[in-house]
Amino acid sequence: MKPRYFEYHQPTSIDDVLELLSEYGDEAKILAGGQSLIPMLNFRIASPAHLIDINGVAGLDQLNLTPEGVQIGATARQRTVENAPEIALSYPLVRRALVQVAHPQIRNRGTFCGSVAHADASAELPSVVLALGAQIIARSSRGERTIPAKDFFEFHLVTALSADELVVEIQLPPLAAGSNGTYVEIARRAGDFALAGVAAQAVIDEGGTVQSLRMACSGVGPVPQLLEEAAQLAIGSDLSDELLLEIDNIVRTTIDPPDDVHASANYRRVVTGTVVRRALKQLRDESGSNHD
Amino acid sequence: MTDTTTISSGHKTVTGTGVKRREDRRLLTGEGKFLDDLNFSEFLEAAIVRSTVAHARVRSIDVSGAIDLPGVAGVYTAGDLEELLQNLPPKVVHPDMSHRVRFPIVLDEACYVGEIIAVVVAENRRIAEDAVDLVIVDYEPLPVVASTASALDKDGPIAHLDAPDNVCVHITQKAGDPDGALLSAPHVLSETFVISRGGGHSMEGRAVAARFDEVAGELTVWDATQAPHYARQMLAVFYEMTEDQIRVIAPEDVGGGFGPKAQFYGEEVLIPFLAKKLGRPIKWIEDRWENFVSSAPERTQTHRMSVGFDDEGKLIVIKDIFEHDQGAYCLGLQVPSITMSTLPGPYKIANIHSELFSCYTNMVPTSSLRGAGRPQAVYVMERMMDRIAEHLGIAPEEVRRRNLIQADEFPYAVGLLFRDGSPLTYDSGNYPGLLEKAESRIDLSAFRDRQIRERKEGRFLGVGIGMCVEGTGLGPYEGARVRLTNFGRIMLTLAAAPQGQGYQTVYAQLAADALNLDMDVIDVRHGDTGNIPFGQGTFGSRVTANAAPAVVDACTQLKGDLVKAASMLLGVPVDQIELSGTGAFVVDDPERTMSLLEITRAFNVGRHGIAVKPGSPVGLERTAYFTPERAAYSSSINICVVEVDPETGMVELLRSVLVHDCGTVLNPLLVDGQVYGGFAHGVGNALYEEMHFDESGQPQTVSYLDYALPGALELVTPELVDQETPSPLNPLGVKGVGESGTIPTPAAIANAVEDALRPFGARFNRLPITPMRVLDALGVLD
Amino acid sequence: MTEQEQITTDLHPLHLTVNGKDVDSVLDSRISLADFLRHELRLTGTHLGCEQGSCGACTVIVDGVAVRSCLMFAVQLNGSTVETVESLCVDGQLSRLQQAFHEEHALQCGFCTSGFLMSLTAHLREHQVTNDQEAREALSGNICRCTGYAGMVKALLAVGDGESTTQ
The answer to whether the CB atoms of A106 and C141 lie below 8 A apart is yes
The answer to whether the CB atoms of C71 and A35 lie below 8 A apart is yes
Q: What is the mean pLDDT of residues B66-90?
A: 97
- Confidence band (pLDDT; 50, 70, 90) for B418? confident
Residue C167: inside a domain, yes or no?
Answer: no
Residue B344: inside a domain, yes or no?
Answer: no
Q: Phi first, then psi: what are they for B70, rounded to 5°?
A: -60, 140
- Chain A residues close to B288, C-beta within 8 Å: 1
Residue C136: inside a domain, yes or no?
Answer: yes
Residue B195: inside a domain, yes or no?
Answer: no
End residue of a domain, out of C30, C55, C87? C87
Give the gap in angstroms from C-alpha C15 to the nearest C-alpha of chain B. Answer: 23
- Identify the pLDDT of residue B5: 62
Q: State the DSSP code for B198.
A: B
Can you give the CATH number for the domain in which B502 is found? 3.30.365.10
- Identify the pLDDT of residue A292: 40
* Statement to judge: residues C66 and C19 lie in one domain: yes
- The helix (H) or strand (E) run that includes residue C21 is strand C21-28
pLDDT exceeds cutoff 80 at C1? no
Give the DSSP letter string of B10-26: -----TTS-PPPSSHHH
- Identify the pLDDT of residue B423: 87
- Identify the pLDDT of residue B4: 61
pLDDT exceeds cutoff 50 at B513? yes
C28 is in which domain, residue-wise?
A: 5-87
pLDDT exceeds cutoff 80 at B519? yes
- Confidence band (pLDDT; 50, 70, 90) for B782? confident
The answer to whether B679 and B659 are in contact (CB under 8 A) is no
End residue of a domain, out of C67, C87, C107? C87
- Confidence band (pLDDT; 50, 70, 90) for B11? confident
* Statement to judge: residues B500 and B439 lie in one domain: no
Q: What is the mean pLDDT of residues B602-618?
A: 92
Q: What is the mean pLDDT of residues B33-47?
A: 94
Give the DSSP letter string of B375-390: HHHHHHHHHHHHHHHH
The answer to whether A49 and A6 are in contact (CB under 8 A) is yes
pLDDT per position as a tens digit, A196-220: 999 999 999 999 999 999 999 999 9
End residue of a domain, out of C65, C87, C109? C87
Does A261 contact chain B (CB < 8 Å)? yes
- Identify the pLDDT of residue A187: 94
Q: What percent of chain B has pLDDT over 70?
A: 99
Q: Select from A43, A189, A278, A281 the residue whose CB has the most chain B CBs within 10 Å, as the one to mutate to test that interface.
A: A189
- Identify the pLDDT of residue A291: 41
Does B242 contact chain C (CB < 8 Å)? no
Give the gap in angstroms from C-alpha A8 to the nearest C-alpha of chain C. Answer: 6
In chain C, how long is the greatest CA-to-CA distance?
Answer: 60
The ipTM, to two decimals, is: 0.96
* Statement to judge: residues B85 and B231 lie in one domain: yes
pLDDT exceeds cutoff 60 at B1? no
* Statement to judge: residues B400 and B521 lie in one domain: no
- Chain C residues close to A55, C-beta within 8 Å: 76
* Statement to judge: residues C56 and C101 lie in one domain: no
Q: What is the mean pLDDT of residues A81-87?
A: 96
Which neighbouring-strand residues pair with B350?
none
The answer to whether the CB atoms of B202 and C42 lie below 8 A apart is no
Residue B151: inside a domain, yes or no?
Answer: no
Residue B754: inside a domain, yes or no?
Answer: yes
* Statement to judge: residues C74 and C109 lie in one domain: no
User: What distances in angstroms separate CA B206 from CA B36, B73, B265, B317, C43, one per listed residue?
Assistant: 10, 23, 10, 43, 21
Residue C166: inside a domain, yes or no?
Answer: no
- In chain C, the number of structural domains is 2
Can you give the CATH number for the domain in which C9 is found? 3.10.20.30
The answer to whether the CB atoms of A53 and C76 lie below 8 A apart is yes
Q: How many CB atoms lie within 10 A of CB B42?
A: 9
Chains near A, with 3+ CB pairs < 8 A?
B, C
> Residues of CATH 3.30.465.10 domain(s) within chain A?
63-172
- Identify the pLDDT of residue A157: 95
Q: Phi first, then psi: what are they for B124, rounded to 5°?
A: -150, 170
> Residues of CATH 3.30.390.50 domain(s) within chain A?
179-291
- Chain B residues close to C101, C-beta within 8 Å: 24, 28
User: What distances in angstroms separate CA B755 from CA A255, B39, B208, B752, C56, one per listed residue?
Assistant: 33, 55, 47, 5, 36
Residue B245: inside a domain, yes or no?
Answer: yes
The answer to whether C10 and A8 are in contact (CB under 8 A) is yes
| Short-list B120, B228, B163, B187, CA closest to B495 | B228
CATH of A179-291, one of 3.30.390.50, 3.40.190.290, 3.40.710.10, 3.30.300.30: 3.30.390.50
* Statement to judge: residues B590 and B604 lie in one domain: yes
* Statement to judge: residues B461 and B485 lie in one domain: no
* Statement to judge: residues C63 and C103 lie in one domain: no
Does B502 contact chain C (CB < 8 Å)? yes
- How far is residue A72's CA from residue A137's CA, in Å, rounded to a whole number? 10
Residue B423: inside a domain, yes or no?
Answer: yes
- In chain B, the number of structural domains is 3
Chains near B, with 3+ CB pairs < 8 A?
A, C
Domain A63-172, classified CATH 3.30.465.10, yes or no: yes
> Residues of CATH 3.30.43.10 domain(s) within chain A?
7-52
Which among A6, A34, A191 has CB closest to C141?
A191
End residue of a domain, out of B626, B645, B673? B626
- The helix (H) or strand (E) run that includes residue B453 is helix B444-456
* Statement to judge: residues B605 and B569 lie in one domain: yes
* C 96-135 near B (Cβ less than 8 A): 98, 101-103, 105, 107-114, 117, 135
Q: What is the mean pLDDT of residues B673-691?
A: 98
Average pLDDT, chain C: 93
Does B70 contact chain A (CB < 8 Å)? no
Of A278-292, B156-170, B489-503, which gets the smallest average pLDDT?
A278-292
Residue B338: inside a domain, yes or no?
Answer: no
Does A2 contact chain B (CB < 8 Å)? yes
- Identify the pLDDT of residue B419: 77
pLDDT exceeds cutoff 80 at B758? yes
The answer to whether the CB atoms of C68 and A55 lie below 8 A apart is no
Does B267 contact chain C (CB < 8 Å)? no
Which among C42, C55, C148 has CB closest to B715?
C148
* Statement to judge: residues B501 and B603 lie in one domain: yes
The answer to whether the CB atoms of A188 and B129 lie below 8 A apart is no
The answer to whether B284 and B35 are in contact (CB under 8 A) is no
Give the DSSP letter string of B316-345: EEEEEEEEEEEESS-S-SHHHHHHHHHTTT
Residue B774: inside a domain, yes or no?
Answer: yes
- Identify the pLDDT of residue C162: 63
pLDDT exceeds cutoff 60 at B75? yes
Q: CA-nearest residue of chain B to A45? A: B133
Which among A31, A34, A105 has CB closest to C66?
A105
The residue type of B595 is S
Preceding amide of B411 cis, omega within 30: yes
* Statement to judge: residues B112 and B128 lie in one domain: yes
Q: Any idea which architecture A7-52 has in CATH?
A: 2-Layer Sandwich (3.30)
Residue C164: inside a domain, yes or no?
Answer: no
The answer to whether the CB atoms of B700 and A262 lie below 8 A apart is no
* A 53-112 near C (Cβ less than 8 A): 53, 55-56, 79, 102-106, 108-109
* Statement to judge: residues B657 and B577 lie in one domain: no
pLDDT exceeds cutoff 70 at B71? yes
pLDDT per position as a tens digit, A18-45: 999 999 999 999 999 999 999 999 999 9
Q: Are strands B460-472 and B167-175 parallel, antiparallel or unpaired?
A: unpaired
- Chain B residues close to A270, C-beta within 8 Å: 775, 780-781
* Statement to judge: residues C109 and C82 lie in one domain: no
- How far is residue B305's CA from residue B380's CA, in Å, rounded to a whole number? 7
B403 is in which domain, residue-wise?
A: 372-473+631-778
pLDDT per position as a tens digit, C117-140: 999 999 999 999 999 999 999 999
Which among A5, A270, A275 has CB closest to B780?
A270
- How far is residue B627's CA from residue B47's CA, in Å, rounded to a whole number? 40
- Higher-pLDDT residue of B78, C163: B78
Average pLDDT, chain B: 96
pTM over 0.90: yes
pLDDT exceeds cutoff 80 at B466? yes
Q: What is the mean pLDDT of residues B520-532?
A: 97
Residue C165: inside a domain, yes or no?
Answer: no
